[in-house]
Amino acid sequence: MTGLGTARFRSAEARDLEAVHALEVASFSDPWPLAGFRELLDQSHVDFDVAESETGELLGYLVALRAADEAEVANLAVHANARRGGIGRALLDAFLARAPAAGVRAVYLEVRESNLAARALYASRGFVQAGRRRQYYRKPVEDALILRRAL
Ligand SMILES: CC(C)(COP(=O)(O)OP(=O)(O)OC[C@H]1O[C@@H](n2cnc3c(N)ncnc32)[C@H](O)[C@@H]1OP(=O)(O)O)[C@@H](O)C(=O)NCCC(=O)NCCS
């Protein structure tokens, strides 16, 4: 695995789906099914981006859904061997930079309360707590914090 210095960023394609799903399974205890990713491809209201190494290994992905003037970062993961190299931040920043041109005024997301790595990333990008969904997650059951960033 390589660091951000050699990472490339582009929209997800059908050929990425298996690696995206493998990273999803490795990253989350209650993963999305493969079909959940497939149906996001080529949808005009969806940002589905991947980071890959120079040799084409998947390093991370981000899924964001836009609706009217709001968007939700619905999924974000970076390969365990590539974490803490700036890839998650770069995926998020690229989406946040593009979103205003698509009419997005505010971005929301949910995060497990115990996910301190993700919370630190989002806090560093100006997300603040807007609410809480009690017992929102399974495996294990845990509250979600709802975070918001105005653009
Ligand atoms: C959360 C996640 C996407 C972060 O991706 P990443 O590429 O490792 O993050 P980055 O290297 O871009 O880190 C950006 C900032 O986030 C914070 N951060 C990231 N990982 C952290 C950790 N383990 N502990 C504390 N802060 C952390 C830091 O502020 C970091 O900046 P710094 O390295 O300059 O201190 C990654 O840890 C991951 O895939 N986790 C499992 C899946 C997940 O939880 N996804 C989010 C669901 S809401």
CATH number at residue 8: 3.40.630.30
**Domain total of the chain:** 1
Q: Which long-range contacts (CB under 8 A, 24 or more apart) does 123-129 make?
A: 124/89, 125/89, 125/92, 125/93, 125/96, 125/149
- Per-residue confidence band for 1, with pLDDT thresholds at 50, 70 and 90: low
Active site residue 142: no
Ligand 1 center from residue 23 Cα (angstroms): 15
Closest C-alpha residue for ligand 1 atom 48: 111
Q: pLDDT tens digits for 14-69?
A: 999 999 999 999 999 999 999 999 999 989 999 999 999 999 999 999 999 999 99
Active site residue 110: yes
Q: Is the model's pLDDT at 8 over the cut of 60? A: yes
Q: Is the model's pLDDT at 121 over the cut of 70? A: yes
Q: Is the model's pLDDT at 3 over the cut of 80? A: no
Pocket of ligand 1 (CB under 6 A): 27, 76-78, 83-89, 111, 115-118, 120-121, 124
Point out the catalytic residue in the list 72, 110, 136, 142.
110
Higher pLDDT: 76 or 42? It is: 76
What is the domain range of residue 81? Answer: 4-150
Q: Is the model's pLDDT at 103 over the cut of 80? A: yes
Which structure tokens are listed for 67?
A: 């609706």
